[in-house]
Amino acid sequence: METILSLSPKALWKNFHSLTQIPRPSAHTKAVSDFLVNFGKKLGLETKQDEMGNVFIKKPATPGMEYKPVVILQGHIDMVPQKNNDTAHDFEKDPIETIIDGGWVKAKGTTLGADNGIGVAAAMAVLEAEDLVHGPVAALFTVDEETGMFGAFGLQPGFAEGNILLNLDTEEEGDICVGCAGGTNVNINLEYKEEDAPEGDIAYKIALTGLRGGHSGVEIHEGRANANKEMFRFLKDAVRELDICVSSVQGGNMHNAIPREAYAVVTLQPENEEAFLEMIDDFEDILVDEYEGIEDMSKLGFDASKCAMPQFIIPEEIQDSIIQAINACPNGVERMVPLMPATVESSDNLSIVEVGGGKMHVLLLARSSSESRRPYICSMIESAFAITGAKVAFEGDYPGWDPNPDSKILKALKANYEKMYGKEPNVGSIHAGLECGIIGASVPGLDMVSFGPTICHPHSPDEKVNIATVERFWELLTMTLANI
């Protein structure tokens, strides 16, 4: 059976395999950070680690290249932990099981971690290579990018030094990224006093599963279903028509992933059971009709099963205000760039909803390349939840990255790309967040670009990386290092 260790370039895939064997979900990166420290020291390279867990490794230039500018290869070492509901996997303990499927590498029922493991593995391969030509080179490995870019924010002046930054976190071959959107987490919290569940009611657990989910930046424009929005859409109708009572709701688990699943526990009068089950079937038909061609109909499911009667429910007034707020809350693309109608300017993602036990927690991620538009989206979200009396906090604010049209590294990378491919690359900004703007504040004067191989469906169990593009990405990277 073919494994990724047989793929080319072997040095890159060997290092990526090593990364898959170390559990590294966001906020659990100490093991992989320590692994990289040992990696650098075993090579005899200057290696340091900060309090956050960021790692910086320096490698001298090859003979005759000492006069070249210092190039920093940068990637984040954490990954998004997402799995199919029928997959048994503990992201804090279990390694990622990779499989080769045609021309792609993916994982067995989980996210792969190619975002940003391929970029990290490429930097590792450069550090240990003895047959490459390059000037002074360094690698900056940051932690917890996926949960709020905390590693990049924690960089202290002087920890990383260099003249050029090659961020290896772009996910489409042929794209060179020179800018990105900024983002803000919107945290919404409410406490309430529960009520006893009605006597004589029966209870059901509703499950919306099998949605594609995905990256809430690069895939937000595809119109994929948001499990949280669709669940509350159904709950509003069920409350109005059948007077159901909601005990708890849970959906989504990552701030930057479109939620794939949502669950609710409700109670209802026995005489409404048949009508309730008919509503379940009818709503599944609605989802199939609205999302055919977008979602995978063979996986999508909207079901209800009898469950133990909960002890408590959400008070009617609180329940209704929460349902109204989440239905009113904006979600998805808010505006395209006026002068670039194919590019998303502003969006938000209703990432996590947790209601039950006397508490409500809702988390959204607002993104925009417009520094005036992002606060406006946050204001709209705040207005939607005003009816609930919840506390709304804006946290984890990170800046966008403004393009530099005079970038020398951009011109060099474009020239190398044209030499390799015989055509010009696509140069532009990305709606997802990258660490470049934050790192640039810690290392003033950096000339920065971002590029990478083709990675499809990051932040979901459908994540996969194209094998052929990884080889070409490596060739472009090493050619650029030799010709800067």
Using DSSP, state whether 180 is helix, strand or coil: strand
pLDDT digits (tens, 9 = 90+) for 381-405: 999 999 999 999 999 888 888 888 7
Tell me, which fold does domain 184-398 have in CATH?
Alpha-Beta Plaits (3.30.70)
Least confident residue range of 43-47, 82-86, 101-105, 168-172: 82-86
Average pLDDT, the chain: 96
Q: What residues have CB less than 8 Å from 61, skipping those under 6 apart?
A: 68, 134, 135, 136, 137
What's the number of CA atoms in the CB half-sphere (13 Å) around residue 160?
34
Based on the number of CB atoms within 10 Å of its own CB, is 124 exposed (0-12), middle (13-18) or buried (19 or more)? buried
Beta bridge partners of 187: 363, 393
Q: Which of 2, 34, 51, 78 is catalytic?
A: 78
DSSP letter at 272? Answer: G
Band of the pLDDT at 148, cuts 50, 70, 90? confident
Give the pLDDT of residue 247: 98
- Does residue 374 sit in helix, strand or coil? helix
Distances (CA, A) of 178 to 112, 115, 463: 26, 18, 24
Catalytic residue among 115, 144, 145, 348: 145
Q: Is the pLDDT of residue 142 over 80?
A: yes
CB-side neighbour CA atoms (13 Å) of 338: 2
The span from the CA of 455 to the CA of 116, in Å, is 10
Give the mean pLDDT of 206-222: 95
132, exposed or middle or buried, with CB in 10 Å at 0-12, 13-18, 19+?
middle
With vertex at residue 141, the alpha carbon angle to CA 136 and CA 142, rounded to the nearest 5 degrees, is 140
User: At 16, phi and psi to the nearest 5?
Assistant: -65, -40
2 counts as catalytic: no
Provide the CA 114 distance to its chain's centre, in angstroms: 12
Which residues of the chain does CATH 3.40.630.10 include?
A: 4-180+400-483
Residue 123 token pair: 């930097």
Element (H, E) at 468: helix 467-483
pLDDT tens, position by position, 53-102: 999 999 999 999 999 999 999 999 999 999 998 899 999 999 999 999 99
For residue 113, what are its two tokens? 């971690």
Q: Any idea which architecture 4-180+400-483 has in CATH?
A: 3-Layer(aba) Sandwich (3.40)
Helices 467-483, 114-128: axis angle to 10 degrees equals 40
Q: What is the mean pLDDT of residues 193-219?
A: 96
d(CA 171, CA 169): 6
Tell me the mean pLDDT in the region 220-238: 97
What is residue 152's predicted lDDT score, i.e. its pLDDT? Answer: 96
Res 130: pLDDT: 96
Per-residue pLDDT for 340 more than 80?
no
- Residue 8 has phi, psi (to 5 degrees) of -115, 140
pTM equals 0.82
Residues 483 and 249: their CA atoms lie apart, in Å, by 55
DSSP 155: P
Could you tell me the pLDDT band of residue 339, with boundaries at 50, 70 and 90? Answer: confident
State how far the Cα of 368 lies from the Cα of 217, in Å rounded to an integer: 10
Banded pLDDT at 341 (limits 50, 70, 90): confident
224, 294 Cβ separation under 8 angstroms: yes
pLDDT band for position 433 (cuts 50, 70, 90): confident
422 Cβ contact list (under 8 Å, min separation 6): none
- Please give the DSSP secondary-structure letter assigned to residue 271: G
Residue 191 and residue 355: Cα distance in Å, rounded?
10
Is 397 known to be catalytic?
Answer: no
